[in-house]
């Protein structure tokens, strides 16, 4: 099994640096228009399945979602709306994994759990900023962005709810930790 995973990983790395169909080197890696895309998606799903630690799983899910966002951007630039929607669906699938991992996050130290949630939130905000940088003039493509916005909203609600749950678990003695906000994340990064 490990040899199969390693082979798939090397295969994915090898083909992800290839040139896309229009001749440009792709920042998105393997895109939905590639015949190797199902292998890339399978590799990502297997990678997510074998990660049991919620922190690692959430981070991997965010990385995969970010890759899918680049795929959406590239497919829209090429005028391939069907393939863009395929990447949007897979982006949503990765976000669902992140939501589950965030929900499963239970660390021994409540402060570390809150810090990890803040790191997730920072990564999420960077991802959301990347979405804002995607510019599309075609009105038909607005559906793509509406779907992505709904996915972002769902994960954002999950992060906020989880942070509140952690903060509510503190006692009065832990008041210093309760005051932790996004600014303190700079110390962690």
Residue 35, pLDDT score: 93
* Confidence (pLDDT) at 39: 94
Give the span between the Cα atoms of 39 and 9, in whole angstroms: 10
**35-44: long-range pairs with CB below 8 Å, 24+:** 36/11, 39/8, 39/11, 39/12, 40/12, 40/15, 40/16, 41/90, 42/8, 43/8, 43/9, 43/11, 43/12, 44/94
Query: Residue 146: what pLDDT?
Result: 79
pLDDT on residue 40: 94
Q: How far is CA 148 from CA 25, 88, 144, in A?
A: 25, 7, 6
Give the pLDDT of the chain (189 residues) as one tens digit per residue. 555 445 544 444 444 444 334 433 345 689 999 999 999 999 999 999 999 998 899 999 989 998 998 898 888 888 898 998 899 899 989 988 988 888 888 776 777 788 888 888 888 888 888 777 765 444 456 777 777 888 888 888 888 888 787 777 765 445 555 455 445 544 444
pLDDT recorded at residue 131: 77
């Amino acid at each position: 099994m490990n040899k199969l995973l390693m082979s798939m990983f090397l295969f994915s790395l090898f083909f992800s640096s290839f040139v896309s169909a229009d001749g440009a080197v792709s920042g998105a890696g393997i895109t939905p228009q590639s015949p190797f895309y199902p292998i890339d998606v399978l590799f990502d799903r297997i990678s997510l399945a074998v990660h049991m630690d919620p922190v690692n799983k959430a981070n991997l899910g965010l990385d995969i979602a970010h890759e899918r966002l680049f795929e959406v951007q590239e497919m829209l630039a090429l005028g391939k709306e069907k393939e863009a929607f395929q990447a949007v669906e897979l982006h949503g699938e990765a976000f669902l994994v992140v939501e589950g991992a965030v929900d499963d996050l239970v660390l021994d130290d409540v402060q570390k759990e809150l810090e990890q949630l803040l790191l997730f939130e920072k990564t999420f905000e960077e991802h959301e900023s990347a979405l804002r940088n995607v510019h599309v003039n075609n009105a038909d493509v607005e559906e793509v962005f509406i779907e992505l916005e709904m996915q972002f909203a769902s994960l954002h609600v999950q992060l906020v709810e989880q942070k509140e749950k952690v903060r509510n678990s503190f006692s009065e003695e832990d008041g210093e930790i309760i005051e932790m906000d996004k600014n303190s994340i700079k110390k962690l990064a």
